[in-house]
Amino acid sequence: MAVISKELFERACGDVPCSVIVHPWNESCLRASPETYYQTAIGSIKFYSIVYAAQLLMQTKKWKKKEFWKKMGEYYIRSTLLGAAVTGTYANMSCFLRWMLGNKFTFYTYNRIPFTLTGLYIYLEPPSRRSLIINLFFNLLAEYYLRSLERSGYLKITKAKQTLLFMIGSSLLFYLMRLEGDKEQRTPLFWLYTPEKVRRKEDGSKNVCPHEGPCHKFILKGYGTYFGIGLAISLARLIIPKIKTPIEAISSIRGKHFKMALFFGSYIGIYRAVVCYLCRKQGFDSALYALPAGYLAGLSSMFNSSLGLSIAVFSGALKLFSTILYEKKILPDFIPLPELLYCYCQGTLFHARFMDPDICPNYVFNLMKTVSNHRCEWVYENILDIIKNIQ
Ligand SMILES: [Zn+2]
Ligand SMILES: [Zn+2]
């Protein structure tokens, strides 16, 4: 897979009919459309079933509430509509732009502009989920840009740098999360762990730490629980693709499958231990303890270092910081900055999936493959064939 430049794309695909590189399943734009929407609806249902199943498993405590199931059902339908609408409308728009430009495809009007515009469908998601998705796409974009800087030689990302980034990011994120602790409505954020609220002196408890009971129990329980979660995730990832032969899957468990468990466990364990130590030493609790605690806890990412994770922790901190800016009216409310940012991210990343696949994050590949019900691969193969023929 190589980069497809603007020049190459327009020379190869400029005059190709849209039935080859937008909707190979039907020659007519009009008649292809129902099939496009149908396939993306199927793909979307598949994709979000997995996403929502994972979310349900993480919230078993709420299962007894009828309201919770109603809400999840509604969100599931809205997400599925989002997936189908983005992809289906993209195809219509790409054909339309081609027709407007005198039956010619250009590098930007083929998929970048259509996918940027269909990003507005993000409004289909309810605000709380929307902000999580925007966060995810922002992380993916940052990953893509960092990789492209690395490729052009401006930057070298080593494991040590990734770990250091993660340490600084964790320290800021945990600090800002603890600052937010007393607020009624917290900024929605998807992170491994939500730190305990700061213990106030006035609340009359004998314990100076932000938890009940003895410190060692609190620390070990954190370590154990998160070790278990990490292990469960790694095993699920290992076993699900091999579900047909569970024996084979179980016999292939090796040391590397404990990496995530060690990372999760020590991340929470170290964080809690440092906070408890400082509380005991100073005799009172403070949000500031999260700074050294988060920093040292970040060391655990040596077990399972990843660029994506280091970016995620920073963008989480950035998000909490931007909430503070909105609250202090430094950022005006009427500009939907996050939604516009999402449109830009979607356009850039979906474009990169086709034109710059070497450094496009894997998540984007999987997302487009599943939601388009594998139609995306079909189209991409066609583009590669056309390019091969002219070279
Ligand atoms: Zn068409
Ligand atoms: Zn303690």
Cα of 286 from ligand 2 centre, angstroms: 13
Q: Is 154 exposed, middle or buried (0-12, 13-18, 19+ CB in 10 A)?
A: exposed
Structural domain of 31: 6-153+336-390
Please check whether residues 148 and 163 belong to one and the same domain: no
Give the ligand whose atoms come closest to the C-alpha of residue 206.
2
Give the ligand whose atoms come closest to the C-alpha of residue 215.
2
Please check whether residues 108 and 225 belong to one and the same domain: no
d(CA 23, CA 272): 54
Summarised one tens digit per residue, pLDDT across range 200-246 is: 877 777 788 999 899 999 999 999 999 998 888 888 777 766 655 65
Number of structural domains (the chain) is 2
Please check whether residues 243 and 220 belong to one and the same domain: yes
Summarised one tens digit per residue, pLDDT across range 107-121 is: 999 999 999 999 999
Cα of 376 from ligand 1 centre, angstroms: 15
Cα of 84 from ligand 1 centre, angstroms: 17
d(CA 376, CA 24): 10
Q: Residue 81: inside a domain, yes or no?
A: yes
Give the ligand whose atoms come closest to the C-alpha of residue 209.
2
Cα of 105 from ligand 1 centre, angstroms: 11
Please check whether residues 178 and 303 belong to one and the same domain: yes
- Answer yes or no: are the C-beta atoms of 234 and 257 closer than 8 Å: yes
Average per-residue pLDDT for the chain:
89
Domain boundary among the residues 327, 348, 370 is at 327
pTM for this model (two decimals): 0.77
Q: Which two tokens stand for residue 67?
A: 């309201």
Cα of 107 from ligand 1 centre, angstroms: 16
- Answer yes or no: are the C-beta atoms of 46 and 373 closer than 8 Å: yes
pLDDT band at 328 (very low <50, low <70, confident <90, very high): confident
Q: Residue 305: inside a domain, yes or no?
A: yes
Q: Which two tokens stand for residue 250?
A: 């179980």
Please check whether residues 305 and 168 belong to one and the same domain: yes
pLDDT reading at 248 higher than 70: no
| Amino acid occupying residue 235 | L
- CA dist 374 → 63, 149, 287, 330 (Å): 33, 30, 48, 45
Please check whether residues 216 and 294 belong to one and the same domain: yes
Cα of 215 from ligand 2 centre, angstroms: 4
Give the ligand whose atoms come closest to the C-alpha of residue 25.
1
Q: Residue 1: inside a domain, yes or no?
A: no
